Amino acid sequence: MIKSVDVIVPIYNEEKTIETVINKLENTDFCSLNKRLILVDDASCDNTKNILSKYNNHLVIYKETNTGKGSAVAEGISHATADIIVIQDADLEYSPDDYNKLLPFIINGQADVVYGSRLKDKSNEKNFLFLSLIANKFLTSLTNLLYGSSLTDMETCYKAFRRECIKDFKINAKKFDFEPEITAKILKNKLRLKEIPIAYNPRNYIEGKKVKGLDALHAVFTLFYYRFFD
């Protein structure tokens, strides 16, 4: 019986948004499951650490060196003990309320993994930067070609997992190659994966995207590597 959820939040230099994100997570009921936040600071160099020091009611992990989002998520997974694991970015691009759309499919035994797709509803395409949309569609199409899947948004942050299904995965990703790596392993292990449409409110250039062009090349390499060599 599903009773609990661990919410992993990878954080790097998010002093402007992290308090709002934590407050929203605290006020989201996550389908009434017992909830714990696992806040993983990836060696922030702004005021983020000082802000996190106020949240003694949550598990806060401070990494000594900055190694990227993937390693922060993997660190969070290694500390997870709940029945379900979800991931929440530390900016305001995704609404925590949308997890209440994803979790019932795991709670009711209909899926092992649920992705919150920003592109299942095509009206969301207008919210993407043009190059980000093209890159996302290319990587998702490549995933479907290599793994025989029918995903619409492989690169989404919003992913919910039955912990039992992924706890033995060895995550090698350090940066934004986490998304293709975890997706490749889910598909190769034939886990039951479902996509549900969610809202998306992207940050703009002034606020600063951390994903770079080189990350797309790493994603391509990752998809090929786990399809043919692992």
Mean pLDDT by 10 residues, the chain (230 residues): 97 95 96 98 97 96 95 96 96 89 97 96 84 93 98 95 95 91 97 94 54 80 94
Write down the pLDDT at residue 212. 61
Residue 197, C-beta contacts closer than 8 angstroms, at least 6 positions apart: 116, 117, 118, 120, 121, 124
Q: Strand 4-11's sheet: what is its strand order?
A: 59-62, 34-41, 4-11, 84-87, 159-162, 113-117, 193-197
CB 39 within 8 A of CB 9: yes
pLDDT score recorded for residue 125 = 86
pLDDT score for 176: 84
pLDDT for the residue numbered 203: 61
CB 63 within 8 A of CB 69: no
3 state SS of 160: strand
- What is this structure's pTM? 0.93
Q: What is the pLDDT of residue 208?
A: 45
Rg, the chain, Cα only: 16
Strands 84-87 and 4-11: parallel
